[in-house]
Amino acid sequence: MIRDDLTPDERALPVRHYIDPGFVNHRLVETVVGDIGVAEINRLIRLLPKLPEWQHTTQVAHIYTRVALGFCEALKVPSLGEVLARGGGPIFCSTEKLAPDESVYTAKRMNVQVLVSGELDHEVRLQFGTEHIISDTLKMQISQGADLSLIAAMPQINGRVFTFRPLVIGSPWLEVDDPAWSDKIVWWGHEYYEQFMEDFDEFARSSDRPTPTLEETQAMRDISEKAFKTCLAEILGDAAGKDWGGEASDHFSAHMHLRGRPVSAAFLLKGPAHFAPMSLNHLGKNNDQIYRLASEPADVLFVQHCHEITPPVRATLRAFAVQPSRPRRYCLIDGRDSLRLLRAYDKVDRALELSRDAA
């Protein structure tokens, strides 16, 4: 939908990721952010004008949320996916899907499951008191199950169950300086950060090429991962480094441009060793290949595959990339787009020749 409804310039618009708070545990926020954070919270509260009680409560919730997000940004707090890939951690900040739980309307204490993707050794739950919920909308979202942004900390581990205590829970929210977009951008949520191949200046020629048919993409079966990497590096004007077992990404470029704005990019490349739709099974145990990709200091995370890319892979990449305290752009290049890119830059024969020479 974003690819059809927004132009490349609109998709590249600089935005800030925020959490619209529907739940705030004030005491826990203060515990986590420490004396400096509490001092900033108190300073901002003192600046509030005299307001009706309901409005004052809302403004205070936003203050706590912004300070908590600032804390996460300063300390580079990881996403839940990163915490799980590491085997644990004291705090996470990310956007996750919560399982539906209708008891939110009656219970005083909740124990809600987080629906993490992939085959994991652990189950993740959120435990909290409903007295901290300040929004009827959030109650509805929890009752039905929804993608929500959250900061949660202090896990208790009981066997294979990780139980976190949330500081803040709310809808993913976008903020933008351009007044023409201020009333529109909020509705795109965290999906806004997806980019497409043609959005990048170095791949711009591909926008004039038709998308290959599924039958045509059979040609990608004969193009090795190494050959595609070499051609990609040539298109970008980079040198293709040698592969080694400890690499976080298959290629890193520090000189790409997103609609004229310089960005760095990390690529995860998958060739035809498994010429089938990419599933999470292609990405290692606990999705560790996406975890390693996300550990790169890149502005954009790319996943490329010679065949189709399934929705769970897309959702997992988005969860690692679009973190409220550190949102990054992400882009998926499937087999059709891979072939379209090679055609646009006259690299198909080159890729086939490289693949034959290496066979």
Write out pLDDT tens, residues 236-249: 998 887 765 557 89
- Asked if residue 340 belongs to a domain, the reply is yes
- Summarised one tens digit per residue, pLDDT across range 136-190 is 999 999 999 999 999 999 999 888 899 999 999 999 998 888 888 877 777 776 6
Contact 191, 314 (CB under 8 A): no
- Summarised one tens digit per residue, pLDDT across range 79-138 is 998 898 888 899 999 999 999 999 999 999 999 999 987 666 779 999 999 999 999 999
Provide the 10 A C-beta neighbour count for residue 140: 13
Q: What is the mean pLDDT of residues 43-67?
A: 96
Buried b (16+ CB within 10 A) or exposed e, 289-322: bbbbbbbbebbbbbbbbbbebbebbbebbbbbbb
- For residue 76, pLDDT over 80 is answered with yes
- Asked if residue 5 belongs to a domain, the reply is no
Please tell me the distance from the alpha carbon of residue 341 to that of residue 196, in angstroms, as a whole number: 12
- Asked if residue 338 belongs to a domain, the reply is yes
Shared domain check, 166 and 247: no
- Asked if residue 4 belongs to a domain, the reply is no
Residue holding tokens 């919730």? 61
- Asked if residue 179 belongs to a domain, the reply is yes
Percent of the chain topping pLDDT 90: 73
Q: How far is CA 327 from CA 16, 166, 199, in A?
A: 8, 20, 18
| pLDDT the model gives residue 359 | 65
| pLDDT the model gives residue 177 | 85
Shared domain check, 353 and 259: yes
Shared domain check, 178 and 145: yes
Q: Which of 157, 189, 221 is the last residue of a domain?
A: 189
Provide the 10 A C-beta neighbour count for residue 126: 24
- Summarised one tens digit per residue, pLDDT across range 243-269 is 655 578 999 999 999 999 999 999 999
- Asked if residue 9 belongs to a domain, the reply is no
Q: What is the mean pLDDT of residues 67-74?
A: 97
Domain count, the chain: 2
* pTM beyond 0.85, yes or no: yes
Shared domain check, 264 and 154: no
| pLDDT the model gives residue 246 | 59
| pLDDT the model gives residue 244 | 59
- Asked if residue 126 belongs to a domain, the reply is yes
Compute the residue count for the chain.
359
Shared domain check, 215 and 159: no
Shared domain check, 200 and 141: no
Shared domain check, 349 and 264: yes
Shared domain check, 256 and 145: no
Shared domain check, 38 and 56: yes
pLDDT interval class at 299 (50, 70, 90): very high
Provide the 10 A C-beta neighbour count for residue 218: 15
Shared domain check, 258 and 202: yes
- For residue 48, pLDDT over 60 is answered with yes
Segments forming the whole domain that contains residue 241: 196-358
- Summarised one tens digit per residue, pLDDT across range 329-342 is 999 999 999 999 99
- For residue 10, pLDDT over 90 is answered with no
Q: Which of 189, 224, 254 is the last residue of a domain?
A: 189
- Asked if residue 218 belongs to a domain, the reply is yes
Query: Structure tokens of 301?
Result: 């995370």
Phi, psi of 27 (to 5 degrees): -65, -40
| pLDDT the model gives residue 198 | 94
Q: Where are the beta strands (DSSP E) in 65-224?
A: 91-98, 109-114, 123-129, 146-158, 161-175, 194-195
Shared domain check, 132 and 22: yes
Shared domain check, 211 and 327: yes
Please tell me the distance from the alpha carbon of residue 161 to that of residue 175, in angstroms, as a whole number: 35
Q: Which of 120, 154, 189 is the last residue of a domain?
A: 189
Average pLDDT, the chain: 91
